[in-house]
């Protein structure tokens, strides 16, 4: 291990030299109150920043680090403090390209297990990035010395010790997270699929921001749907509980239907204090389903929804390089069932109309033997009654769903009302004359086995993420733009590494896709998220994804093949 003085000497020695001389500073340094690890130096000022770690002794109470939940919450909180203090003590403005940049992956509104802060019983380790300063491609050694000797120590001291953070704020943060995890257990015990607390603020700042909108109408549960949650720290809270089964969310335009569903969709994750959705919780295996024109589909049995197509194609083994809206939506559902979802979420605005409904007049004009699509209207109850898969649907244009639902929630000026009784009365007063086309069979969802060689990336075996929506496998781009429950680009980064890790360790032309993903997640449970990274030391900026989004990435890779 080198000393602080040795780091200073190296930086003074390479001042003014070509950028590659920065490689001389890689290594471990004793900085007094912490150890500094410079794991990887960038190749030039415009390349991805250098990977750096800072490790300090563990000073936080044992009750905060005794279990995974406590460590996740503590790590998330400290990461956010580290990011705030980077801004406080200065970052950037020290040369060309990414010179002077200091950054840590702290995420947005969700509390996620991340690689950016590693917590053990002995130490706290921050993993961050530094843009090494340069003028053109000439090293600015003195500016680099200021970063390592002044800025980083100031950030570490202000962020990573128990005495340097707000103890009350930290306690509330960890207690909130523990309450949220406890609520997820209560959902299962009480056969609920979602809960939204009274007083929640669901609307977001904008369509591209997950931050809360100010001055919103506080959520208030209908009396008939109100339940009480007795939590370890917050005590008794009340809110709307949605039971298992088929739930419709209806109402006029701009009254909050999609806002409620969007909150339910994103509350598969836990949220930070002040978000407005702190006590809004959804079953963590819920999957948002939509149509996805043009997506790749590999060997999916969509026959419960689409059968007897005029081309004679066997839809039990459906493949497409350019799936239509209805076939892509059918594939999305079957793929979600394949990896174990028990709750489907749909908004009619993003669904294929001919997949969702087929009214009596259309049935009269086009006979069922001429229509290969079994609409979801005729499938939704079978999914629940035969597989225990619930659905929450936003609808504004089809009252035929009143016949097959368990409850109807109407949004009016962003407040929910239980109108189940009124909807059922309407079905009696105005009986539908449509008939159920078919009753689909969901008894056997096919487990597909990936062909290992199909996961070879080709060009330099390059597998990497590009923001939240894209993964690059060799020359092929995997578009995840319509996988709406990826909350963070760091989850996408983790998915990219999971694909490589799963291919190299578990794909063997025998294991199913679901089993492969489960094995990877089991490794992460036992060894931490670091285990999937190809890098030693600093593992990169990753956040834990759910298995449903991992599967979605496999399924959208156009090179993906399964055993026939």
pLDDT tens across 254-282, in order? 999 999 999 999 999 999 999 999 999 99
Q: Is the pLDDT of residue 439 over 90?
A: no
| Residue given tokens 């298992």 in the structure block | 244
Q: SS3 of 134, please?
A: strand
Q: SS3 of 385, please?
A: helix
Q: SS3 of 195, please?
A: strand
Contact call for residues 414 and 216 (beta carbons, < 8 A): yes
Query: How confident is the model at residue 208, as a pLDDT?
Result: 87
431 vs 369, higher pLDDT:
431
Query: How confident is the model at residue 95, as a pLDDT?
Result: 73
Which of 92-101, 306-315, 522-531 is least confident?
92-101
Give the pLDDT band (50/70/90) at residue 370.
confident
Query: How confident is the model at residue 199, as a pLDDT?
Result: 98
For strand 407-412 and strand 270-271, is the pairing parallel, antiparallel, or unpaired? Answer: unpaired
- Run of H or E including 346: strand 343-347
For the chain, the average pLDDT equals 95
For strand 226-231 and strand 318-320, is the pairing parallel, antiparallel, or unpaired? Answer: unpaired
pLDDT tens per residue across span 1-26: 899 999 999 999 999 999 999 999 99
Contact call for residues 62 and 179 (beta carbons, < 8 A): no
Q: Is the pLDDT of residue 502 over 90?
A: yes
Query: How confident is the model at residue 92, as a pLDDT?
Result: 58
Give the pLDDT band (50/70/90) at residue 462.
confident
Q: Is the pLDDT of residue 312 over 90?
A: no
Quickly list DSSP for 158-187. Answer: HHSSGGGS-HHHHHHHHHHHHHHHHHHHHH
Distance CA 231, CA 253 (A): 35
pLDDT tens per residue across span 328-344: 999 999 999 999 999 99
Give me the helix-helix angle, 547-556 and 513-527, nearest 10°: 130
CA atoms within 13 A on the CB side of 137: 9
Q: Is the pLDDT of residue 94 over 90?
A: no
From the list 86, 85, 59, the residue with the least C-alpha distance to 74 is 59
Distance CA 459, CA 469 (A): 21
Contact call for residues 107 and 114 (beta carbons, < 8 A): yes
Which of 264-273, 416-425, 453-462, 501-510 is least confident?
453-462
Distance CA 199, CA 217 (A): 9
Distance CA 126, CA 113 (A): 14
Distance CA 267, CA 246 (A): 19
- Listed in sequence order, the DSSP H helices in 107-166 are 141-146, 152-159
As a whole number, mean pLDDT of residues 466-473 equals: 94
Q: Is the pLDDT of residue 397 over 80?
A: yes
Query: How confident is the model at residue 79, as a pLDDT?
Result: 98
Contact call for residues 380 and 246 (beta carbons, < 8 A): yes
pLDDT tens per residue across span 525-542: 999 999 999 998 999 999
Q: What is the dihedral of CA 465, 466, 467, 471, to 10 degrees?
A: -50
Q: Is the pLDDT of residue 188 over 90?
A: yes
Give the pLDDT band (50/70/90) at residue 36.
very high
Token pair for residue 467?
């923001």
Q: Rounded to the nearest 5 degrees, what angle is found at the Cα of 68, between the Cα atoms of 62 and 71?
A: 55
Which of 329-333, 362-366, 560-564 is least confident?
362-366
What is the edge-to-edge ordering of all strands in the sheet holding 470-473?
Answer: 463-466, 470-473, 476-479
Give the pLDDT band (50/70/90) at residue 327.
very high
Distance CA 447, CA 338 (A): 6
Q: Is the pLDDT of residue 311 over 90?
A: no
Give the pLDDT band (50/70/90) at residue 524.
very high
Query: How confident is the model at residue 452, as a pLDDT?
Result: 96
């Amino acid at each position: 291990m080198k000393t602080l003085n040795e780091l200073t000497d190296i930086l003074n020695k390479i001042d003014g030299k070509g950028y590659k001389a920065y490689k001389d500073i890689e290594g471990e340094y004793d900085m007094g109150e912490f150890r500094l690890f410079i794991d990887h130096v960038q190749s030039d000022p415009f390349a991805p920043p250098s990977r750096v770690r800072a490790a300090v002794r563990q000073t936080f109470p044992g009750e905060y680090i005794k279990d995974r939940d406590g460590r996740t919450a503590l790590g998330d909180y400290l990461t956010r403090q580290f990011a705030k203090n980077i801004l406080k003590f200065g970052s950037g403005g020290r040369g060309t390209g990414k010179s002077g940049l200091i950054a840590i992956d702290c995420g947005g509104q969700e509390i996620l297990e991340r690689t950016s802060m590693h917590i053990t019983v002995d130490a706290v380790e921050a993993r961050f990035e530094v843009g090494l300063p340069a003028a053109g491609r000439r090293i600015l050694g003195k500016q680099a010395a200021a970063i390592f000797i002044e800025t980083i120590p100031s950030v570490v001291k202000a962020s990573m010790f128990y005495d340097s953070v707000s103890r009350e704020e930290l306690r509330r943060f960890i207690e909130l997270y523990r309450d949220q995890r406890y609520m997820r257990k209560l959902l299962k015990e009480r056969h609920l699929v979602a809960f939204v607390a009274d007083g929640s603020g669901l609307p977001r700042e904008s369509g591209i921001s997950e931050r809360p909108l100010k001055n919103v109408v506080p959520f208030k549960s209908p009396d008939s749907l109100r339940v009480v949650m007795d939590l370890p720290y917050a005590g008794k809270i009340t809110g709307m509980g949605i039971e298992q089964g088929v739930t419709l969310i209806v109402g006029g335009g701009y009254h909050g239907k999609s806002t409620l569903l969007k909150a339910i969709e994103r509350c598969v994750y836990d949220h930070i204090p002040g978000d407005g959705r702190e006590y809004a919780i959804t079953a963590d295996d819920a999957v948002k389903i939509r149509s996805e024109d043009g997506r790749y589909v590999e060997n999916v049995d969509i026959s419960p929804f689409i059968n007897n197509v005029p081309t004679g194609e066997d839809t039990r083994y459906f493949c497409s390089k350019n799936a239509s809206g209805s076939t892509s939506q059918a594939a999305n559902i079957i793929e979600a069932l394949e990896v174990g979802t028990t709750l489907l979420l749909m908004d009619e605005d993003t669904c294929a109309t001919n997949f969702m409904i087929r009214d009596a007049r259309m049935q009269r004009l086009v006979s069922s033997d001429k229509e290969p699509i079994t609409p979801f209207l005729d499938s939704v109850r079978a999914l629940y009654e035969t597989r225990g898969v619930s659905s929450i649907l936003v609808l504004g244009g089809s009252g035929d769903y009143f016949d097959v639902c368990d409850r109807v929630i109407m949004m009016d000026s962003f407040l929910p009302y239980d109108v189940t009784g009124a909807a059922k009365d309407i079905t009696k007063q105005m009986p539908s004359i449509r008939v159920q086309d078919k009753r689909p069979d969901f008894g056997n969802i096919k487990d597909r086995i990936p062909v290992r060689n199909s996961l070879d990336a080709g060009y330099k075996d390059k597998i990497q993420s590009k923001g939240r929506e894209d993964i690059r496998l060799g020359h092929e781009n995997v578009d995840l733009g319509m996988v709406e429950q990826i909350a963070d680009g760091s989850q996408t980064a983790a998915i990219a590494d999971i694909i490589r890790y799963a291919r190299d360790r578990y794909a063997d032309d025998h294991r199913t896709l679901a089993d492969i993903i489960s094995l990877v997640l089991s490794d992460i449970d036992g060894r931490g998220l670091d285990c999937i990274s190809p890098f030693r030391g600093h593992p990169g900026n990753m956040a834990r994804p759910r298995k449903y989004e991992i599967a979605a990435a496999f399924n959208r890779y156009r090179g993906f093949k399964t055993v026939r």
